[in-house]
Amino acid sequence: MRIIYIHQYFKTPEEGGAVRSYHLAKGLVQAGHDVELITTGNNPTYDQRWIEGIKVHYLPVKYDQKFIYLKRIWAFIDFVKKSKLLLKKLKRPDLLYISSTPLTTGLIGLWAKKKLAIPYIFEVRDLWPRAPIEVGAIRNPLLIRYLQNLEAKIYQNALSLVALSPGIANHLRTISPQSSLHLIPNFSDLAQFQPLPKSGSILKKYGLEERFTIAYTGALGRVNAVEELIDLAELAFHQNKNWQFLIMGAGSHREYLEQIAQEKGLENVIFIPFGNKASVNEVLSLADFAWISFAPLPVLKTNSPNKFFDAIAAGKPVIINHKGWVYNLMKANHLGISCLPSKLDKAFAQLEELADSPEKIQEMGRNSRKLAKSYFSKELAVSRLVHVLDPDASPSGQGDEVDILTA
């Protein structure tokens, strides 16, 4: 089958960031499909590269997380326009596989279906426009109504829908109950991320000491609530705990977080530059716990965060600051503890106990790795996607049962 995969923010493991599209597209090539991918390159001109058998088209669309709202909207529209022009020039595919966010990528699918009679599958990573509405980024009632109507139209015209979490799947069923729906969560790269002992050379590389460590590796934006990790660090600092808190990533709130830590004089908070997946693995190898956080918005309970799946692949216990799907996975499988904003003292007391009980931490880490292997390997995700494209190709391997994926 000839597939054109559309994802505005395609990244490779060497670049860092979310690499779901890289692994799924690579898996489709290995399964015998012909895959081209359309994305952006932040370059002044069009570029084309072959990556692991995928022909990748980089469109000249500028984008940065620090862009103001209107400039982001322009980048979304520009990507749609340039993708349409490119699709007219490419060899006709059997279908488009389109990944959000942003929701505007669905405009490409609607256009291709109407003008070129090409069907599309739409993958929903985050709930748009629900997420920006709850965050407060979109407030105009007319714009909200337009985006909600667009959302429904995109879902209802898709050949099928792919949801990344049970919560997202439930939302899609409400908006488009007649659609064919598939659940393919984010996944763990078990080869890239492995349980590793704390290495003296890696500690030295980052200028760190061997101490009880909690690490955050991910985006540093408004919705990520990493300031709550700083609150925990402040409590530990004033309790004279010899703990350290690592924050690795990039985003619009990084400078704000650095300022908070500096103003509070928190020498136990160390900021590490954004890095590729190999660097993330190094930082996780130094951690006793991985911190997974989001702002307390209902829509964010449905998230399928890459940082969670990287952490469990690395065999790390997790600390979850919000209720939702990954919180339920943590509870049901004994992967770590919760640190809800209203129960910071309780979480701190649990961490005090666990810091003196390395065997309990190790058991949680083993549970994390076991869950990653059994239900969330990238191989299983690729198998599920191949099944979406060809229903006769049944998913293979462990984890065909979906009970553990339900909210």
**Token digits of residue 272:** 């590490």
**Token digits of residue 249:** 């990533």
Is pLDDT of 262 > 50? yes
pLDDT, position 220:
96
**Burial of residue 76, with CB atoms counted within 10 A of its CB: 0-12 exposed, 13-18 middle, 19 or more buried:** middle
Arithmetic mean of pLDDT, 351-374: 98
CATH homologous superfamily of domain 200-374?
A: Glycogen Phosphorylase B; (3.40.50.2000)
Q: Give 261's contacts (C-beta < 8 A, 6+ positions apart).
A: 230, 233, 269, 271
Q: Which CATH code is given to the segment(s) 2-187+377-405?
A: 3.40.50.2000
**Token digits of residue 159:** 């050949």
User: What is the tens place of the pLDDT at every residue in 212-253?
Assistant: 999 999 999 999 999 999 999 999 999 999 999 999 999 989
Of the chain, the percentage scoring pLDDT greater than 90 comes to: 89
Arithmetic mean of pLDDT, 301-325: 96
Please say whether the beta carbons of 378 and 397 come within 8 A. no
Dist CA 149 CA 145 (whole Å): 6
pLDDT, position 56:
98
User: What is the tens place of the pLDDT at every residue in 124-181?
Assistant: 999 999 998 998 888 999 999 999 999 999 999 999 999 999 999 999 999 999 999 9
Partners of 99 in the β-ladder: 123
pLDDT, position 406:
61
pLDDT, position 135:
87
Dist CA 381 CA 281 (whole Å): 21
Please say whether the beta carbons of 108 and 80 come within 8 A. yes
Please say whether the beta carbons of 169 and 163 come within 8 A. yes
Residue extents of the structural domains in the chain:
2-187+377-405, 200-374
Dist CA 289 CA 97 (whole Å): 36
pLDDT, position 391:
80
Arithmetic mean of pLDDT, 256-279: 96
Short-list 348, 355, 357, CA closest to 236? 348
Please say whether the beta carbons of 96 and 121 come within 8 A. yes
Helix or strand holding residue 231 (H, E): helix 227-238
Q: Tell me whether the CATH fold assigned to 2-187+377-405 matches the one assigned to 200-374.
A: yes
Of the chain, the percentage scoring pLDDT greater than 70 comes to: 96
Dist CA 81 CA 144 (whole Å): 22
Q: What is the mean pLDDT of the chain?
A: 94
Identity at 362, one-letter amino acid code: Q
pLDDT, position 399:
39
- How confident is residue 394, by pLDDT bands cut at 50, 70 and 90? low
pTM of the full structure: 0.94
Is pLDDT of 23 > 60? yes
Dist CA 47 CA 378 (whole Å): 28
pLDDT, position 322:
94
Arithmetic mean of pLDDT, 37-42: 93
